[in-house]
Amino acid sequence: MGIHNLEKIFKPQSVAVIGASEKKGHVSSSVMSNLIGGGFFGDIFPVNPNHKMVWGLPTLSSVAEFETPPDLAVIATPIDTVPQIIADCAEKGIGGAVIISAGGKETGAKGREIEAAIQDAAGKKGFRIVGPNCLGIINVHQKLNASFARQMPLPGKMAFVSQSGAICTAILDLSITENIGFSYLVSLGSMLDVDFGEMIDYLGNDPNVSSIVMYVENLKNIRNFMSAARSVSRAKPIIALKAGRSRAGARAAASHTGAMTGEDAVYDAAFRRAGIVRVKTFEELFDCAELLSKYTRTKGPGLAILTNAGGPGVMAADALSDYGVEPAALLPETLAKLNQVLPQYWSGSNPIDILGDATPERYEQAVSICLEARELNGILIMMSPQAVADPSEVANLLCSRIKKNGCPVFTVWMGGKEVENGRQIFNRAGIPTFDSPERAVRAFMDLRAYSVNVDLLNEIPSKLPKSLEFDREFVRTKIASCLEDDHFYLSEAESKSLLSAYGIPVVPTQLAISATDAVQKAEECGFPVALKISSTDILHKTEAGGVLLDLDDSEKVRNAYDQLLKNAYDFKPDAKIQGVSVQPMANREEKGYELILGAKLDRDFGPVILFGMGGVVTEVIQDRALALPPLNRLLARRLMEATKIYQLLKGHRNQPAVDLVFLEEMLVRLSQLMSDFSEIRELDINPLCISKSHACALDARIVLEKNDVIAPMHMVISPYPDEFEEHTICKSGERLFIRPIRPEDAPLLVENFQSLSKRTIYRRFFNPLRQLSPEMIARFTQIDYDREIALVAISETRGQEKLIGVSRIINSPDQKEAEFSVLVADQYQGQGVGSALLSRCLFIAKQRGVEMVEGFVLAENTQMLTLGKKLGFVSSPVQGIGEYRLIIDLRKNPDGTGEK
């Protein structure tokens, strides 16, 4: 329904409380008291001056007389009365509701029926609901406390969103103690309607929010959640505590990959891809929130540890080491300055031990030097109580100095009663403070993790050395045939045929159904050969004695066939045996590594790709990493880098490096296969043997399932939409390729920008840009295809790609309105390139349900104004700034372009 519908919930001008009782202590009475305390008394119902709050029991018949319905209804009545109340609210034009009432789906079947009735009552009128079973909502800057929380948060720019009301109140209570401010506290409860994805979108567009912290139990509308998080996390940190980390997967695994991709690991991969920093405990969530309330980015990992005692300094350094980070190395100039103010026997390095007799002045001098040190990206100041210096005096002296600097600075005053007042001084000054070195370091590294995530999101992937081709029709036909016959567990040979169709090299494999057949196939492929049992009931062949190697003559093959069947039936008497696979032995002369490449269709996140150490010990070693497709070279490399075996693959001692670019390509191919076919439930390539000059899949297994969700809608991240590719001819007769933009187009985009005249740049950007920043390049090329349409025109003359034009339509979060832009290289202006690009974008936008598209054009840009008129835009001058607003209603244009 879109985030614009949420305005009346989170920024209402009037509120109705609908409760079962006015008695003190009732939930609805608490809500009313909070609202009145926030200043809503007096402007809730101007038409009813005697009663500013209206109580319905249990319907809204009492508000029928109102000329102007309230924006928001807060409902705290028995759950079985709520459906009728919601129907009345929607009918009377109330904007939305917060349902505090409990007793919904969390209670079982009856509760689920009631929630379904509430949804039906809300209907299609754009009526939005937060809850049920929630604490309520708080918008601090609006002074809105539509909850039954006892306190109002301090003002700040951090938003906290939680499914649990108890977590909300706990965070609220701690925040007041620690002097942490919030802009919003939102309890989503059962998430019948408004969910995390919509809240991220809404808060991401609110200038009063600089960071978002979430407590998550489960997600819904996950594709929208991922889209929102990937968009917002580039600008605002998102921190999440996901509960339920130990819950087992809901479906038994039929492959190595299935056994190695548990639910929690998939959430890790999804959050990482979305740019979300995941924390593991409530303590970490609060610590991270405290640091985020003051700082949102770090420029690097360079942390200074300044302490008056050696032990705490070592503890802090050890905590850093757990993250693979060392204390920042101090530059000679910093060391020289410290030597001038510190005693002769100070530590001389980082951690900076200024000794137990440190005075407040020594602290202040050392901190000032660290704040000016260019090698430092953060400063941890620690103090253990000593007889020489009063902890409170040191805290007071440092506060004014620290607050004048933008570098993240946080403190640890270790101890109990003696240092408590010092902690309170820091809290009142808004300086993050912790009670142990480990908690402080963890919070800093969480903050650092966000900065790393943003850097990764902005990194430009390079192209593969060659274009990739896939035999989609072969795979489509094979899968359809298998599903029609209820043949879900493919044989090794069948599995390898699908992989081969997508360019993944495999050892040629044939299925033999008798000993004689096995001998014949062995002779065809050449000795020596390997024989492996083929059974849908035996996952681990080696455990069943189902693999025999180095068979170098026909008699050995014949005997091996019989032996494999005996071993299989001994291992599992009721196993269904399809036969024995026959394949040539792999070349063992060249040393290499065994890897596993796999994929699984997760019930929530769709396809998940796995990479790691393979072979028979893969599940024991558990050296693997997960990622969500689609993948490009950069994402494939990041996936590999997350494993330990990657260090060996790069080359180790006398073992040469393997072809890492080839591995990237294999992961991209696997990603494409999983993107194209929603019917693949699980896929294993184990092992994929790789050496310096050779790679091949020795074994493979694919499991299919019938799926009503058609690809690519089974994915939570929209893949490249190749259906929008087309060729066209411009007025000069040159053939152009129009297609969606790709992340790998960054060099082409930069080259195009550098060729533009100053006039063209100014007309597009309304600013005399000299160059595109890395952030802009990433933003323009790494788009979310669900939220944005960006088409480029490519000239392919003389075999070289040249980007000559780009057009965009960027949707608002509600997906109903959008804004367009067009940019064409100077030498191609007037050739119909802009018209071809924009008309195609408008057509796609209409297909996707966009209703209104607008853009702003400089009055001097007559070519664009003429193009707008041609395509059906209505233009109107914007008073006083020399611009025209162009707008088109796609609902009135049957073909979506309006071209005349």
Does residue 250 contact residue 603 with C-beta atoms inside 8 Å? yes
Adjacent-strand bridge partners of 624:
612
pTM here?
0.88
Q: Which of 586, 610, 592 is nearest to 659 (CA)?
A: 592
pLDDT in the model for residue 590: 61
> Is the pLDDT reported for residue 639 higher than 60?
yes
Categorize the per-residue pLDDT at 653 as very low, low, confident or very high, splitting at 50, 70 and 90.
confident
> Is the pLDDT reported for residue 250 higher than 50?
no
> Is the pLDDT reported for residue 586 higher than 80?
no
For the segment 497-549, what is each residue's pLDDT rounded down to a tens digit?
A: 999 999 999 999 999 999 999 999 999 989 999 999 998 888 778 889 999 99
Fill in the amino acid letter for 895: D
pLDDT in the model for residue 360: 94
Which carries the bigger pLDDT value, residue 163 or residue 31?
Answer: 163
Rounded to whole angstroms, the Cα distance separating 266 from 697 reads: 25
Rounded to whole angstroms, the Cα distance separating 376 from 303 reads: 6
CA atoms within 13 A on the CB side of 864: 24
* Angle at the Cα of 178 from the Cα atoms of 174 and 180, rounded to 5 degrees: 90
pLDDT in the model for residue 76: 86
Rounded to whole angstroms, the Cα distance separating 411 from 378 reads: 11
User: Phi then psi for 498, rounded to 5 degrees?
Assistant: -70, -40
Categorize the per-residue pLDDT at 45 as very low, low, confident or very high, splitting at 50, 70 and 90.
very low
pLDDT in the model for residue 58: 33
Annotate 437-497 with DSSP letters as a single string: HHHHHHHHHHHHHHHHHHHHHTPPPPPPSS-----HHHHHHHHHHHHHTT--B--HHHHHH
Q: Which residues contact 286 (CB under 8 A, 6 or more apart)?
A: 171, 174
Does residue 162 contact residue 190 with C-beta atoms inside 8 Å? no
For the segment 822-842, what is each residue's pLDDT rounded down to a tens digit?
A: 999 999 999 999 999 999 999
Does residue 151 contact residue 135 with C-beta atoms inside 8 Å? no
> Is the pLDDT reported for residue 809 higher than 50?
yes
pLDDT in the model for residue 204: 94
Q: Which residues contact 865 (CB under 8 A, 6 or more apart)?
A: 857, 875, 884, 886
pLDDT in the model for residue 744: 92
pLDDT in the model for residue 315: 96
> Is the pLDDT reported for residue 64 higher than 90?
no
pLDDT in the model for residue 55: 37
Number of neighbours of residue 302 by Cβ within 10 angstroms: 21
Fill in the amino acid letter for 53: M
Could you tell me the two tokens for 36? 């009145």
pLDDT in the model for residue 670: 97
pLDDT in the model for residue 27: 67
* Size (the chain), residues: 900
For the segment 698-747, what is each residue's pLDDT rounded down to a tens digit?
A: 999 999 999 999 999 999 999 999 999 999 999 989 999 999 999 999 99
Least confident stretch, 196-205, 323-332, 690-699, 888-897: 888-897
Percentage of the chain lying above the pLDDT 90 cut: 66
> Is the pLDDT reported for residue 116 higher than 50?
yes
Number of H helices, E strands in the chain: 29, 34
Rounded to whole angstroms, the Cα distance separating 75 from 135 reads: 11
* Angle at the Cα of 68 from the Cα atoms of 62 and 70, rounded to 5 degrees: 70
- Angle separating helix axes 774-781 and 746-755, nearest 10 degrees: 120
Categorize the per-residue pLDDT at 794 as very low, low, confident or very high, splitting at 50, 70 and 90.
very high
What is the pairing mode between strands 96-99 and 72-76? parallel
Rounded to whole angstroms, the Cα distance separating 382 from 343 reads: 18
Could you tell me the two tokens for 321? 């080491």
Categorize the per-residue pLDDT at 760 as very low, low, confident or very high, splitting at 50, 70 and 90.
very high
Rounded to whole angstroms, the Cα distance separating 237 from 251 reads: 33
Placement of tokens 């704040």 in the chain: 371
Placement of tokens 């260090």 in the chain: 647
Does residue 34 contact residue 92 with C-beta atoms inside 8 Å? no
Rounded to whole angstroms, the Cα distance separating 136 from 100 reads: 6
Q: Which residues contact 172 (CB under 8 A, 6 or more apart)?
A: 149, 151, 153, 182, 185
For the segment 370-410, what is each residue's pLDDT rounded down to a tens digit?
A: 999 999 999 999 999 988 899 999 999 999 888 767 789 99
Categorize the per-residue pLDDT at 898 as very low, low, confident or very high, splitting at 50, 70 and 90.
low
Rounded to whole angstroms, the Cα distance separating 595 from 697 reads: 9
Which carries the bigger pLDDT value, residue 310 or residue 253?
Answer: 310
pLDDT in the model for residue 591: 66
pLDDT in the model for residue 50: 33
Rounded to whole angstroms, the Cα distance separating 63 from 542 reads: 74
Q: What is the DSSP letter of 215?
A: E
Torsion angle in degrees (nearest 10) through CA of 603, 608, 614, 617: -30
Categorize the per-residue pLDDT at 246 as very low, low, confident or very high, splitting at 50, 70 and 90.
low
Rounded to whole angstroms, the Cα distance separating 871 from 808 reads: 15
Taking the alpha carbons of 176, 181, 182, 188 in that order, is the dihedral positive or negative? negative
> Is the pLDDT reported for residue 855 higher than 50?
yes
Which of 76-85, 164-173, 495-504 shows the highest mean pLDDT? Answer: 495-504
Does residue 128 contact residue 9 with C-beta atoms inside 8 Å? yes
Does residue 29 contact residue 35 with C-beta atoms inside 8 Å? no
Annotate 611-638 with DSSP letters as a single string: EEE-STTHHHH--EEEEPSP--HHHHHH
Mean pLDDT, the chain, whole residue set: 88
Least confident stretch, 242-256, 800-814, 864-878: 242-256
Q: What is the DSSP letter of 604?
A: T
Could you tell me the two tokens for 120? 């039906």
Per-residue pLDDT, averaged over 593-618, amounts to 92
3-state SS, residue 725: coil
